[in-house]
Structure 1
Amino acid sequence: MRHVGLKARMAVVGSVLFAFYALVAIVAVEAFGVGIPIVLLGTVGFAGFQYVLGKKIALWSSGAEDMPADRYPEIHRSVERIADEMDLEKPRLMVADMGVPNAFAVGRRGAGVVVVSEQLIRLLDHDELEGVLAHELAHVDNRDVVMMVMGQSIASMLGLAAYFVIAFSRDGGIGNIVLGYLASVIVQMVAMVFVLAISRYREYVADSDAAGHVGGDAMARALGKISTANGRGDAELDDNVSALCISGGDRSALQRLFATHPPMEKRIEAVRNVDRQYY
């Protein structure tokens, strides 16, 4: 079975998040008298809305536009070849001016979208660019993009639930509202710890998959160039996009505790040996 480690982590995190959701549903039913059908309908609708909205916000905030096949024929041919090797339907290709060399994928198998920055296309040699494309296709193939978006949706749902439970309990008032806000932040951060554990691991898996298609050396060179260029640049990625990108950018020591990406030097070391197993 491919990627047992990733699938196991996704199953565990999914179970933990579902347990959190079940707790919220019980509180809504018992404390506020909300009917179970309404709870189910509301949560499914909220998650679906978050999934669709998250995808659209990522594309909108990056300024992505469709990538013309006549202007970028080599990229289209490479994606077609790699997608065929992965037994994956070719995703929609888009190009964006992100200000930094980067790329990201959104969507699911059969409805994926891969966005590549103009800066990345200019920076990388073709075999290195193929490595990045294979990395993003691997995210779609492994379905971890959907898990990330749904995990973030559940974390947001938990935060909202914590706020309403505390802010509107007892006599209400400004004190409860403040406490509700603080509880919302803490609960959402706790839930996101589990999501971020998958986020960092999925980057290793996608790197390894990409190295299997283009070779570890090409993938390592691509990551090295991206890291160096991002370190020199002043542009910062939108928060709606950075977690999905191949490079999350530099972070402070505190921010690294909640980083969506593992250290680039560790990723480069890993892909130089494509035989190393992460799953």
Structure 2
Amino acid sequence: MSATRTAPRALLVLVGFAVLCCYAGLAALSYLGLATLWLSAPDPATTLAIVVGVGLVVGYLSYRFGRTQLLSQLEAVELPRSRAPTLYRRLDGLADRMDVEPPTVMIAQLPTPNAFALGSATGGVIVLDRSLFRLLSLEELEALVAHELAHLEGYDAFVQTLAYSVFRTIAGLAVVGLLPALLLIGGLARSIAWMRGRPQAWPETVFGRVVRWAERGVAVALLAVTALVRAHSRRREFAADDRAANVTGNPLALARALRRIQRVADTRRGLLSPLYVHADEREDAWSRLFSTHPSTDDRVERLADRARRSSGTRNRIEIQ
């Protein structure tokens, strides 16, 4: 091998060795930091309690400030009782029959006709799109409000936010625990790629493939957590439908409201909040798996079945 080729080759090997030393140093520092924390940490049960507590605090702060920010972004304004006395009378009646205090009702210009609830049973907010007052009858609007009150009664949005925060905190700590090994393996992958003269091809090395598989594992874990939270959200939507049907005694009113909202929403695609009473109707399996809401058709059919059972009829009820 000529001297003109030996010098660049040696330089690449030297750079690869330097890269490995840097990553190994970072891995050692992170390992020492984690080892120090481990030695000074309390027993596993206390540590788990601290982790869960941190997740809950972060989730609470995120929900608290996120709620204020969302209402500000939507430019939602409180609906005075003098502007909708009949709606408020029905709202007060529903609240008396449910384990919830009358919430603050706010109106906003949402991307599509929709409604959502924020807060809890003792300090909730229901946001209604302005168009709902002309799109729905009073009975349909009452059923929709009852659905949102059911979410407040069950602390649904709050619980989901806290659960997701705790899961993300635990997943983040797991990644931190693997950091020393990932840094060392990543350094080996990049070092070998430099020594081969192809620094951009480090993902193709054996160690690079290990790093990619680890990243995919973290991504799959986060997707699994998200899928579990979304599945719980879909169950709570069905539960809120059932609760609204119970307190109003009129499941068809909610079914008609959902169908009307869906019909208009299908013509106006926009960014929809997972808190909304109606979400995008998408048919592929992945979308259904990560959807926050069941399909409107499923919800309407369940409500229609409930109406059939309560009336004792076997005839199919069509919701227009």
TM-score band by shorter chain is 0.7 to 0.9
For 2:115, the equivalent position in structure 1 comes to 103
After superposition, give the CA deviation of every residue in 1:66-112 in whole Å (9 maximum; x if it has no partner).
Answer: 22222232322221111111142111111111121111111112111
- Counterpart-to-counterpart distance in 2, 1:32 and 1:183: 25
- 1-structure distance, mates of 2:182, 2:147: 51
Within the candidate set 112, 123, 129, 2:135 is matched to 123
Gaps spanning 5+ residues in structure 1: where?
Answer: 1-27
Structure 2 residue 255 is matched with structure 1 residue 224: no
Maintained 8 Å contact 2:281/2:295: no
CA shift digits 1:30-81 (9 cap, x unpaired): 7842634784453343233233234334434433222222223232222111
What percent identity do the matched residue pairs reach? 29
Alignment of 1:22-171 (within 5 A): 32-33=37-38, 35-36=41-42, 39-40=50-51, 42-169=54-181, 171=183
Is the Cα–Cα contact under 8 Å of residues 227 and 289 in structure 2 kept in the other structure? no
User: 1:18 is matched with which residue?
Assistant: none
Deviation, structure 1 residue 274? 3.2
Q: Does 1:190 align with 2:224?
A: yes
Alpha carbons of structure 1 residues 68 and 192: separation in structure 2 relative to 1, 3 Å? same
- Give the alignment partner of residue 265 of structure 1, picking from 290, 293, 297: 297
Q: How much does 1:206 deviate?
A: 0.8
Distance 1:153 1:43, change over 3 A: closer
The answer to whether 1:247 aligns with 2:278 is yes
1:145-181, CA deviations, whole angstroms, 9 ceiling, x for partnerless residues? 2221112212332343344334454646587997776
- For residue 68 of structure 2, give the secondary structure of its aligned residue in structure 1: helix
SS where residue 306 of structure 2 aligns? coil
Structure 2 partner of 1:236: 271
Contact 1:132 1:222 in 2 (8 A): yes
2:305 is paired with a residue whose SS is coil
Task: Choose 30-39 or 246-255, whichever is displaced more.
Answer: 30-39
Task: Name 2:235's counterpart in structure 1.
Answer: 201
CA contact (8 A) 2:281 2:296 kept: no
Letter in 1 for 2:262: S
Distance 1:184 1:52 in 2: 28
CA 1:66–1:272 in 2, change beyond 3 Å: closer, same or farther? Answer: same
Q: Give the alignment's TM-score, normalised by structure 2.
A: 0.67
> Under a length normalisation based on structure 1, what TM-score does the superposition of the two structures give?
0.76
Question: How far apart in 2 are the matches of 1:47 and 1:222?
Answer: 32
Q: Is the 8 A contact 2:99 2:121 kept in 1?
A: no
Q: Is the 8 A contact 1:29 1:35 kept in 2?
A: no
In terms of Rg, which structure is larger?
A: 2
| Superposition deviation, residue 245 in structure 1 | 1.1
Q: Confirm or deny: 8 A CA contact 2:56 2:166 kept in the other structure.
A: no
Aligned length: 246
CA distance in 2, matches of 1:29, 1:79: 54
Could you tell which deviates more after superposition, 34-43 or 77-86? Answer: 34-43
Q: CA RMSD in A?
A: 2.9
Write the letter of the residue equivalent to 1:264.
T
Please say if residues 255 and 303 of structure 2, whose CA atoms lie closer than 8 Å, have aligned partners that are also in contact. yes
Residue-by-residue CA offset, 1:185-237 (whole Å, 9 max, x unaligned): 32221112221221111111111111223301211111110111111113322
